[in-house]
Structure 1
Amino acid sequence: MYPIKKVLIGLDLTELDKTMIEFADFLAERSNVEDIHFLYVIKNLQVPQDLLKEYPDMIDKVIQEKENEMRKTFLDYSKTKQKAKIHFQVQNGRIADNILKFSKTEDIDMIVMGRREKAELSGSLAQRLARRAACSLLIIPEGTKPKMDKILVPSDFSEYSTLAIEEAVEIASKNDFKTEIIIQNVFTVPSGYHYTGKTFEEFANVMKKNAEKDYKKFIKKIDTKDIKVKAVYSQDINDDVTSDMIDKAREINANAIIVGAKGRTATTAFFLGSIAERLIQIDHDIPLMVVRPKGKNAGFMEFLKEL
C-alpha cells in the first residue's frame, strides 16, 4: 500500500468548508500526510476580451480575493497546529476538470471532496472523480465529524478489496490501534440451488460456510498489524448488495466505509466497479473512501487529451 502524503481538498466557500477543514485537521494529526492542497474553482469567470482590455487586472483581483477568503476560512475552522504544509490554490473553469488536472500535476495521493445534504450535484461530481482520478477518493458528507474508530470494509476477497483493507489497517495504526475493522462479505444464493436437493436455507448456509473458508485464506495474506479485525457475513435477498453494505454500516455505527476500485481504465463506470459506483450513489451520510492504486488508471492521460 502506497503512503498518502499529498492530499487535495476541494473548498467551495460555503458552510461545507467547516467539515472539510475539520477533516484536514484529522488527516494532519492521524496520518503521514505532508502536504494538504486546498483548491477552489471559480465556475463563472468568463470575461469578454474587450472588457479584459479595459480591466486587465480584474481576473487576478478576483483570484486573490478568493484565495484570501480561503485562508480566512481555514483560520476560522482549523483547530490544530498543522504538521502538514498547507497550500491554497484558486482556478477557473469546470470543477471536475480542474481537480483532475491539479491532482495529476501535483502528484496527489488522495482527493477529498464534500457531499452536500442535497447530493445531486456533489454525487455526480464524486462519480466522475472516482471514475477518472488516478488516485484514491474520500467523500465526506456535510456535517460529518472526523472520527474513524469503526470502519466497514466490504470484501469479495479480491485484490481490490485487499487494497481497501490495507488502507483501513493503515488508518487504524495511526489511531493508536483504537480502530475496529469490520470486513463484510455479502453472499447470494445462486439460481438453480434446488437442483442440489437442498432447500434455500440449507444452500444459504453452504454459501456462508464457503465464504468463511475463503475469508480465512484471504486474511492470512494481509498484514493486519495486530489491529482488531472482525468478519461478518450478510445474505443478499434483494439483488442489491450495496444496500446490505449500507445497512450493515448503519447497524454497527461505522464512521467510514472503505472500498477498493478497479484501476485499469477510466473510460466507463464498469471499470470503477459496480459496487463502488453504487455506493457513491446511495451513501449520503457515511464517509466513503474509494481506494485505487496510485497511477493505476490507463485511461487518465487519454482523458486529459480530450479536455
Structure 2
Amino acid sequence: MYLIKKMIVCLDQSSLDKTLVEFAQFIARVNQTKKIFFVNVIKNLSVPKEVLEEFPNLIENMITERQNAMQKTVSEVFGDQKDISLNYVVKEGNLSKKILKLSEEKSVDMIIIGRKTTLPGTGVAALRLARRASCSLLIIPETTVPKVQKILVPSDFSEYSKDAMEEAIMIAARHGNAEIVCQNVFNVPSGYHFTGKTYEEFTQIMQMHAEINYKKFIRKIDTKNIKITPVYTQDDNDDPVQEIIDKALEIGADGIVIGAKGRTAATALFIGSMAERLIQFNDTLPLLVTRPKGKNAGILDYILEI
C-alpha cells in the first residue's frame, strides 16, 4: 500500500464541504501529503451569447466566486498551511467524468466524496467513481467526525480482501495502533441436508472452515503488530451487507474498509456486489473502497467519452 501523497476532495458548496475538508486534513496529517485538489464541478456553465456580450466577465466571476468559497472553507480547517499545495479547481460538466479525468492527469492516490443523507443528492457519482477510479475512494457521510480507533474490514479472504486488510493496517499504524476487526460473513448452503448433517452441525462446519481460512489469510500479511480480531457472522437473511453495517455499529467502528474486486482491464467495472451495496446502503460510517493504484485500466475508454 502507499502513502496518500496527492488527493482530490469533491466539494459542492453544501454544508457537507467542511466535513470533507476536515477528513482531508486528518488524512494529510499522517500521510506526508504534498498536494490536495479541492474540486467543484458545475453541471452547466452555459450562458446565452447575448448575456455574455453584455457581461463578458460573468463566467470568470462565477468561477472565481466558487474558488474563493472553497478557499474560505479550507482555510478555516487547514489554517496557514505551508507544507501542502492546496489547489482550487472549478470544472463544468459531469461530476464523475471530470473527477476521473483529473485524477488520472494528476495521478492522485485518493478521491474523497460525500454521502448525503438529509441533503439533496443521489449518490450515483460515488458508485461511478468506485467502479472507474484507478485509486482508492473514501466516501464520507454527513456529520461524521474523523477519528481512527476501530476499523471494520469485511473479508472473504480473497486477494482484494488482502488489499483492504493491508490498507487498514497501514491506517491503523499511522493513527496510533488502532484496532482492526476482520469480519467474515458466511451462510449455510441450501443443500446442506443432503449431507446428513443438521442445520446447526453444518453451521459449525462452515464457521470452522472460515476460521481455518482466516488463519491462512492472515499469515500472508504483515500485521505490523496491530491488534486484529476475527469475527464470524452467519447470514440467515441473505443480506451480508446489512450484517456488515450492523457489526460496524455494534463494535463502534469509525469506518469500514473494503477492497474493489476489479483489478484489471477485464474487470474494470466490477467492484463486487458487496462493495456496490455498501456504497448504496451505508449512510452512517466512512467507507474506504481500496484499489491498488493504477490497477483500473478501463479508465481510458471512459475518459475518451468526455
Query: More deviation in 214-223 or 71-80?
Result: 71-80
Whether contact under 8 Å (1:157, 1:218) holds in the other structure is yes
Contact 2:169 2:223 in 1 (8 A): yes
Q: Give the match for residue 185 of structure 1.
A: 184
Give the gaps of 5 or more residues in structure 2: none
* Distance in 2 between residues matched to 1:81 and 1:223, nearest whole Å: 34
Question: What is aligned with 2:223?
Answer: 224
**2:232 is aligned with 1:199:** no
TM-score with structure 2 setting the length: 0.94
Tell me the residue number matched to 2:93. Answer: 93
Q: How does 1:135-214 map to 2 (within 5 A)?
A: 135-177=135-177, 179-214=178-213
Alignment correspondent of 2:55: 55
Q: Is the 8 A contact 2:19 2:145 kept in 1?
A: yes
What's the CA shift string for 1:230-269, capped at 9, x where partnerless?
Answer: 1000001011111111110010010100000022248885
Q: Superposed, which structure 2 residues align to 1:256-267 within 5 Å?
A: 256-262=255-261, 263-265=263-265
Cα distance between partner residues in 2 of 1:204 and 1:305: 49
How far 1:87 moved relative to its partner? 1.4
Moved more, 51-60 or 212-221: 51-60
**Contact 2:268–2:297, Cα closer than 8 Å, also in 1:** no
Cα offset, 1:122, TM superposition: 4.3
> Under a length normalisation based on structure 1, what TM-score does the superposition of the two structures give?
0.94
Name the CA shift for 1:31/1:115 in 2 (closer, same or farther; >3 Å). Answer: same
Superposed displacement of residue 124, structure 1: 1.3
Deviation of residue 95 (structure 1)? Answer: 1.3
Q: Secondary structure at the match of 2:121?
A: helix
Query: For 1:28, what is the secondary structure of its paired residue?
Result: helix
Determine the C-alpha separation between the residues in 2 that align with 1:49 and 1:266: 44
Deviations 1:287-307 (A, max 9, x none): 000001111112110111122
**Distance in structure 2 (CA, Å) of the matches to 1:98 and 1:247:** 34
The one-character-per-residue Cα deviations of 1:13-52 (angstroms, maximum 9, x if unpaired) are 1211110111122112222322111111122311133433
How far apart are 1:116 and its partner, in Å?
Answer: 1.3
Compute the RMSD of aligned alpha carbons. Answer: 1.8
Q: Give the secondary structure class of the aligned counterpart of 1:254.
A: coil
Deviation at 1:77, TM superposition (A): 3.6
Distance 1:203 1:295 in 2: 41
Q: Which of 259-268 and 54-63 deviates more?
A: 259-268
Could you tell me which residue of structure 2 aligns to residue 131 of structure 1? 131
Is this contact kept in 1: 2:111–2:137, CA < 8 A? Answer: yes
Aligned to 1:16: 16
Partner SS state of residue 7, structure 1:
strand
> Matched residues in 2 for 1:266 and 1:248: separation?
33
Contact 1:266–1:297 (CA<8 Å) still a contact in 2? no
Distance 1:105 1:209 in 2: 47
Distance 1:266 1:85 in 2: 36
Q: Which residue of 1 aligns with 2:249?
A: 250
Q: CA 1:66/1:119 → structure 2, altered by over 3 Å: closer, same or farther?
A: closer
1:104 equivalent in structure 2: 104
Question: How many angstroms apart in 2 are the aligned matches of 1:73 and 1:208?
Answer: 49
Indicate conservation of the 8 Å contact 2:183/2:233, yes or no. Answer: yes
1 CA distance for matches of 2:216 and 2:266? 31
- 1:103 Cα deviation from its structure 2 partner: 0.7
Give 3-state SS (helix, strand or coil) of 1:272's partner.
Answer: coil
Tell me the SS of whatever aligns to 2:233: strand
CA distance in 2, matches of 1:82, 1:165: 33
User: Which whole-Å CA distance do the structure 2 matches of 1:245 and 1:80 have between them?
Assistant: 40
Determine helix, strand or coil for the equivalent of 1:127. helix
Instruction: Using the TM superposition, give the Cα deviation of residue 10 of structure 1 relative to its aligned residue in structure 2, in angstroms.
Output: 0.8
Q: Distance in 1 between matches of 2:266 and 2:86?
A: 30
Contact preservation (8 Å) 2:7, 2:37: yes
Deviation (angstroms), 1:80: 8.2
Number of residues of Structure 1 aligned to a counterpart in Structure 2: 305
**Superposition pairs for residues 25-36 of structure 1, below 5 Å?**
25-36=25-36
In structure 1, the gaps of 5 or more residues are none
Equivalent position of 1:2 in the other structure: 2
Structure 1 range deviating more: 246-255 or 121-130: 121-130
Task: Name which of structure 1's ranges 293-302 and 77-86 shifts more when overlaid on structure 2.
Answer: 77-86
Letter in 1 for 2:71: R
Residue of structure 1 equivalent to 2:297: 298
Whether the 8 Å CA contact 1:29–1:82 is kept in 2: the answer is no
Letter in 1 for 2:296: N
